[in-house]
Chain A
Amino acid sequence: MDWGAIIETIVRGLIGERFIYFALAAIGLNLHFGYTGLLNFGQAAFMAAGAYGLALTVTSVGPLINDDEGIFQLNISDGWLFVIGVFVGICILPVLLALLMGIPTLRLRADYLAIVTIAIAEAIRIFMRSPRFDWFTGASDGLGGFSGTFYDLSPFDPGERYFFNLFIGNQMFLVIIGWIVLAIGATFCWLLIRSPWGRVLKAIREDEDAARSLGKNAYSYKMQALVLGGVFGAMGGMLRAIGFSLAQPDNFITDVTFFVWVALILGGAGTVLGPLAGAAILYAVLDGTDTFLREAVANDVIPDSIMSGTQVGQVRFMLIGLGLILLAAFRPQGIFGNKEEMALDDR
């Protein structure tokens, strides 16, 4: 058994790039569900908006508008194109998506938003897969070639390994940028939540009519929360696409949304640190059990009659499922949640 490799994957899960993607998405979902009570089952769509906002701008739109024989004949440098792509992916597409989801549903009961978000997320993914727009969206192969500008900025040698040999150069750069984004995002969120604005969100979560009777425009606040949470999701999705150097429709299946949900519930919805802790633990457990089981099977600690190496992938999800059941039974408020607060639901 290579315990070093097991510990390495656990640490990587706790602080690595996947933790960052999902922690950002979970912060967004926490704004939706944890503070405002919005049931968003389409966080993957917001992540896709971030990924494709960047990818489409750099890879598809860039050559079109920079073309000497095209309509615009602009001459935008790769660097600026990347910056515009980041802007589109964080400030434009997720906002439009939130408006699309929110305008018809936010005046209605919470469940309507849930239905619309899950449907829109799937509709967007299937549309992006469509071969008809292959020339623009890359269809099911997705789009690549947009992350070069990002990695060009990296001061790390791509061939070297850094931070206790955990990350290769490019990953190291991504993780550092990711942590900076995460730290700023979490602080921003913390400031928002402890402000009177955050108080109104919580009031809407508790009772929309009460908030309205006290002069709060519940619809507007719900929309603001939906947009802002979507922007956080988009940041996670964009970093994820940069990490893969690829934006592909099937990276944004509904499972992704539910991973974000698991991270949020694990850590504790309605707490500032919950989504961070949840995402870290989720990936530490997923990756740690994966390596552990593989090692155990390879070294015949677990005999082939019980489990083969190919079954490890499924078994680790069973373990996560078991963990969630135990969590629901013994600590329903999540790791950071307040049990006293949770108990008030029953009254």
Chain B
Amino acid sequence: MIDEFREGDELIPDAGPPTGDGTATLGDIAFVEGVDPERARAQLAEVPWEAGAKKPDPILVATNVVRRFGGLTAVDVDHVEVQRGVITALIGPNGAGKTTFFNLLTNFDSPDEGHRVFKGESIDSVPAHKIADRGMVRTFQLTKSLSKMTVIENMKLGATAQTGESIFRSVFPFLWKNQEAEIEAKADDLLRHFKMDHMRNEFAGTLSGGQRKLLEMARALMVEPEMVMLDEPMAGVNPALTQSLLGHVTGLRDQGMTVLFVEHDMDMVQEISDWVIVMAEGRIIAEGPPASIGQNQDVVDAYLGSSHDSALDLGREL
């Protein structure tokens, strides 16, 4: 199905979210226990629409996070909380520091000052590779599918706590064979859900841009995350595939996962996010439900300059 949407192909409009047409549902493969996405969203209604607002059930909290590059202060965030079980969008004009802040939240970069707390525990001194074990996984703006590995190898790589990844155990296949079979079965289930099972043995380098995004998302789910961080999930994706990807992102939330994504595309933000955080010049300037953002004067100023005084249809312009 999906492999028809290679870049440059004619657009096929009907590429909706995955439906119950016999393929595996995500709920069988990946879900987070103890999170009620409906309730989590309902709780957001009581949160004030202001930058740095406290959330009833935060999974990720960043306080006084500052990142400087030489004389330039790229990020200077006083306080931000991400509600568990909802989709939060991080938006802002170019150069606002979104990706830098995103890297700080996922520990791929270290802040000069400030603290980050994930699931109630500080992650300030946790190395990037240990973040995944704690239940947070990220994707990249420039998709990092591992080209010279097959799709299924990409998937199997994602599983954590693999016995066979220890150099001493790896040479004794009987020590990890069983676990490997379980991982492979789970990877196949996920590939079926993302409708990529027919290309399981292809090199990831042969996939189209959109398929790589899908693969990266599926691979991230192998980690069994509680929080999924997506860096521009729609960048470089064929519009025909966008709807399907959006469906997958909301699917993650419906399984109890928390999603934070960075995005330029305002349509996508309006469509799927439950909460929006707006950054400009390294600071959080506004927060609120997606509908509130277009009317926020600070946001309008940040995107279009404060001297702009004509009537705006922000839903389109941003």
Residues 214-244 of chain A, each 1 if its beta carbon lies under 8 Å from chain B, else 0:
1111100000100010000000000000000
A316 contacts the other chain (CB 8 A): no
**Contact check: which of B163, B171, B203 meets A344 at CB < 8 Å?**
B203
Interchain CB contact under 8 A, A215 and B171 = no
Closest Cβ of chain A to B231, distance in Å, is 10
A132 contacts the other chain (CB 8 A): no
Report the stretch among A204-212, A272-280, A322-330 that lies at the interface.
A204-212
Interchain CB contact under 8 A, A203 and B146 = yes
Main secondary structure, interface of A, reads helix
Interchain CB contact under 8 A, A215 and B205 = no
Quick one: closest A residue to B128, CB to CB?
A212
Interchain CB contact under 8 A, B219 and A214 = yes
Assembled-state Cα–Cα distance A200/B131 (Å): 17
Chain A positions within 8 Å of B205 at CB level = 344, 347
Closest Cβ of chain B to A75, distance in Å, is 35
Mark out the residues of chain B between 119 and 140 whose CB falls within 8 Å of any chain A CB in the assembled complex. 127-133, 137-140
A159 contacts the other chain (CB 8 A): no
Closest Cβ of chain A to B252, distance in Å, is 16
Chain B positions within 8 Å of A218 at CB level = 129
Assembled-state Cα–Cα distance A313/B140 (Å): 53
Interchain CB contact under 8 A, A191 and B173 = yes
B170 contacts the other chain (CB 8 A): yes
A197 contacts the other chain (CB 8 A): yes
Interchain CB contact under 8 A, B180 and A206 = no
Assembled-state Cα–Cα distance A33/B119 (Å): 39
Q: How large is the interface on A (under 10, 10 to 19, 20 to 34, 35 or more residues)?
A: 20 to 34
Residues 183-217 of chain A, each 1 if its beta carbon lies under 8 Å from chain B, else 0:
00000100110011111101101110111111111
Assembled-state Cα–Cα distance A192/B158 (Å): 18
Assembled-state Cα–Cα distance A191/B140 (Å): 32
Interchain CB contact under 8 A, A200 and B165 = yes
Chain B positions within 8 Å of A198 at CB level = 170
**Contact check: which of B129, B130, B133, B164 meets A195 at CB < 8 Å?**
B164
Interchain CB contact under 8 A, B144 and A196 = no
Quick one: closest B residue to A218, CB to CB?
B129
Assembled-state Cα–Cα distance A197/B147 (Å): 18
Most-contacted residue by chain B among A212, A216, A270, A347 (CB, 10 A): A212
A341 contacts the other chain (CB 8 A): yes
Chain B positions within 8 Å of A192 at CB level = 167, 170-171
Closest Cβ of chain A to B176, distance in Å, is 6
B153 contacts the other chain (CB 8 A): yes
Assembled-state Cα–Cα distance A142/B46 (Å): 80
Chain A positions within 8 Å of B130 at CB level = 215, 217
Interchain CB contact under 8 A, B129 and A344 = no
A340 contacts the other chain (CB 8 A): yes
Assembled-state Cα–Cα distance A210/B158 (Å): 10
Closest Cβ of chain B to A19, distance in Å, is 25
Chain A positions within 8 Å of B165 at CB level = 196-197, 199-200, 216
Interchain CB contact under 8 A, B149 and A202 = yes
Closest Cβ of chain B to A115, distance in Å, is 25
Assembled-state Cα–Cα distance A216/B137 (Å): 12
Mark out the residues of chain B between 149 and 198 whose CB falls within 8 Å of any chain A CB in the assembled complex. 149, 153, 156-158, 160, 162-167, 170-171, 173, 176, 180
B89 contacts the other chain (CB 8 A): no
Assembled-state Cα–Cα distance A311/B74 (Å): 63
Closest Cβ of chain A to B141, distance in Å, is 11
Quick one: closest B residue to A188, CB to CB?
B171
Closest Cβ of chain A to B167, distance in Å, is 5
Interchain CB contact under 8 A, B140 and A209 = yes
Quick one: closest B residue to A198, CB to CB?
B170
**Contact check: which of B146, B160, B163, B170 meets A210 at CB < 8 Å?**
B146
B206 contacts the other chain (CB 8 A): yes
Chain A positions within 8 Å of B206 at CB level = 344, 347
**Contact check: which of B144, B149, B219, B222 meets A209 at CB < 8 Å?**
B144
B249 contacts the other chain (CB 8 A): no
Quick one: closest A residue to B180, CB to CB?
A196
B88 contacts the other chain (CB 8 A): no
Quick one: closest B residue to A193, CB to CB?
B170
Assembled-state Cα–Cα distance A205/B220 (Å): 19
Interchain CB contact under 8 A, B140 and A199 = no
Q: A198-B170, A207-B146, A210-B146 are in contact. List 18 more A-B contacts (CB 8 A).
A: A195-B170, A196-B156, A196-B180, A197-B167, A202-B146, A205-B148, A210-B140, A210-B144, A213-B139, A214-B137, A214-B158, A214-B160, A215-B131, A215-B133, A216-B129, A217-B129, A217-B130, A344-B147
Chain A residues proximal to chain B, CB less than 8 Å: 188, 191-192, 195-200, 202-203, 205-207, 209-218, 224, 228, 270, 340-341, 344-345, 347
A-B residue pairs, 5 tightest by C-beta: A215-B132, A344-B205, A196-B164, A195-B170, A197-B170
